[in-house]
């Protein structure tokens, strides 16, 4: 049984990753189009190309991590090695050089590709650690819940603080808009660096699985793994759902809600801005994560996935009925954001726990552990969802006639055409609903239910014959 400090330490790792990832997903498209100064079309291509590379590099990193051997284990040392490059690349990503358009576009490609490569270098091994920190399927869900609870906590801090941080550096220190965004990222980057070091310090690998097959056999086993394909498809749709909504929020608040809207709750007037909307969502995600273990214990992982998808379809359509011109309509938007975020919070640890199950299924079937390779596919699905979702938002807005703001001028008084406003509504409602419906259809075919996993775990324990104990570490070798 893992200690509480290990679970908290594991959570710190995704707290750091998520602080960066959510800022990238929710604010980077707006940054490129309205502050950095590149067109919607170029931004869409940039997001697609860089994240496709990022997704393709994930299996490469998984293969490397599976074959890493150090006194700290296979996956854990990458938390130490990559923490500093991770933070530095994040700062460079939000740096706006005073160059011509073409040179700035090259800078954007180079820094984004570097950032995503480094993100893969630390996040894939971190995710694969789940497969070697415990051999219990249910405890993996507990670890995943701690992971996602802290991840959403980090997201809340980053998103809720982003606008105030930018305003602080801009208004109190006289920085330009571009410099204020860079300075805000410096603060976030320092926090992430410390969190990764704490994750390394507090965690350990207790299982030493061995990849005793060739790379070719590992890849062949992967592509013939039916549960892996189905879970990838469902996970991609889940991440696409989150990315489309998240990448749209900054645009939606700037052009549909407006920058000076307030909501009145019990005679208290509160500024209704994108950071509040997203930040409240992150807190609600944390509630969902806390519910993940009791819900999946009661009804199982697959039924939970299906239930959440059904509710996401319904609530996304209901969001379309909100009236942003009224106080009640704005409050309803916020309430729907809370419920939708609770549901996605339940889903997040569930997906990672199901990848751990797929890893066990693969090891039992092939008698060779490829944990890093399989967990890299989870990250790959996340990246593909982000790539497709981020690019689609940019291109759909361009096709709908969205009017971009002048470089570096964050004015909110631009009147968008009706077609652009309609597109923003679709991106917040019916398009995510369609994606959730597709996820529901895919996961319905997923074969690893509760009973199947109980049988797999028992057989896998019998297959792992030799246990050799070393100080603080148990090495479990397959036959």
Amino acid 407: pLDDT: 54
Residue of 91, 99, 109, 100 whose CA lies nearest to 43 = 109
Ordered domains of the chain (ranges, CATH)? 4-477 (1.20.1250.20)
The closest of 441, 381, 445, 22 to 235, measured between CA atoms, is 381
Q: What is the largest CA-CA distance in the chain?
A: 69
Query: 411: Cβ–Cβ under 8 A, 6 or more apart, which residues?
Result: 405
Residue 381: alpha-carbon gap to chain centroid: 10
Distance of alpha carbon 250 from alpha carbon 243, whole angstroms: 12
Residues 213-239: what's their mean pLDDT?
Answer: 79
Per-residue model confidence (pLDDT) at position 475:
38
Q: What per-residue confidence (pLDDT) applies to 428?
A: 95
Q: What is the pLDDT of residue 468?
A: 38
pLDDT over 60 at 239, yes or no: yes
The DSSP string of 154-196 is: HHHHHHHHHHHHHHIIIIIS---HHHHHHHHHHHHHHHHHHHH
**C-alpha separations of 175 from 165, 169, 172, 250, 280 in Å:** 12, 6, 8, 22, 28
Average pLDDT of span 3-22: 92
Q: How far apart are CA 427 and CA 424, in angstroms?
A: 5
Select the more confidently predicted residue: 193 or 474. Answer: 193
With cut-offs at 50, 70 and 90, classify the pLDDT of residue 479: very low
- CA–CA separation, 235 and 443 (whole Å): 9
φ, ψ for residue 265 (rounded to 5)?
A: -125, 115
Res. 409: pLDDT tops 60: no
Q: pLDDT per residue over 258-316, tens digit each?
A: 766 788 877 787 877 788 888 888 889 889 988 988 999 899 999 999 999 999 999 99
């Amino acid at each position: 049984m893992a200690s509480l400090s290990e679970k908290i330490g594991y959570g710190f790792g995704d707290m750091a990753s998520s602080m960066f990832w959510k800022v990238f997903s929710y604010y980077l498209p707006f940054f490129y189009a309205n502050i950095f100064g590149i067109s919607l079309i170029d931004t869409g291509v940039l997001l697609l190309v860089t994240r496709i590379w990022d997704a393709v590099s994930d299996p490469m990193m998984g293969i490397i991590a599976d074959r890493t051997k150090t006194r700290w284990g296979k996956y854990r040392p990458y938390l130490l090695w990559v923490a500093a490059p991770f933070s530095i690349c994040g700062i460079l990503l939000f740096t706006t050089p005073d160059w011509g358009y073409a040179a700035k576009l090259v800078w954007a490609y180079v820094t984004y590709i570097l950032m995503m490569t480094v993100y893969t270098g630390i996040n894939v091994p971190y995710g694969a650690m789940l497969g070697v920190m415990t051999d219990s399927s249910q405890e993996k869900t507990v670890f995943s819940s701690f992971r996602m609870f802290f991840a959403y906590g980090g997201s809340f801090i980053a998103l809720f603080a982003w606008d105030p941080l930018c305003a602080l550096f801009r208004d109190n220190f006289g920085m330009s808009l571009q410099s204020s965004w860079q300075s805000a990222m410096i603060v976030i980057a320092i926090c992430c660096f410390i969190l990764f070091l704490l994750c390394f310090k507090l965690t350990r690998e207790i299982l030493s699985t061995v990849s005793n097959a060739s790379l070719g056999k590992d890849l062949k086993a992967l592509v013939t793994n039916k549960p892996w394909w189905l879970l990838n498809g469902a996970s991609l749709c889940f991440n696409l759902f989150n990315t489309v909504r998240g990448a749209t929020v900054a645009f939606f608040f700037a052009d549909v809600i407006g920058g000076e809207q307030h909501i009145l709750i019990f005679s208290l007037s509160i500024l209704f801005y994108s950071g509040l909307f997203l930040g409240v969502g992150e807190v609600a995600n944390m509630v969902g994560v806390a519910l993940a273990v009791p819900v999946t214990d009661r009804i199982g992982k697959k039924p939970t996935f299906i239930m959440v998808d059904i509710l996401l379809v319904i609530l996304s359509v209901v969001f379309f009925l909100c009236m942003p011109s009224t106080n009640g309509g704005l409050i309803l938007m916020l309430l729907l954001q809370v419920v939708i975020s609770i549901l996605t919070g339940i889903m997040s640890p569930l997906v990672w726990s199901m990848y751990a199950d797929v890893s066990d299924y693969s090891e039992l079937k092939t008698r060779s552990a490829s944990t890093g390779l399989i967990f890299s596919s989870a990250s790959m699905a996340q990246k593909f969802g982000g790539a497709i979702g981020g690019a689609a938002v940019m291109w759909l807005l361009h096709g709908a006639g969205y009017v971009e703001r002048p470089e570096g001028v964050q004015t909110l008084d631009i009147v968008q055409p009706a077609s652009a406003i309609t597109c923003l509504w679709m991106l917040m409602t019916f398009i995510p609903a369609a994606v959730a419906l597709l996820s529901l259809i895919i996961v319905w075919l997923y074969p690893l239910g509760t009973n199947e996993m109980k049988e797999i775990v028992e057989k896998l324990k019998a297959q792992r014959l030799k246990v050799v104990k070393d100080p603080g570490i148990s090495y479990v070798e397959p036959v």
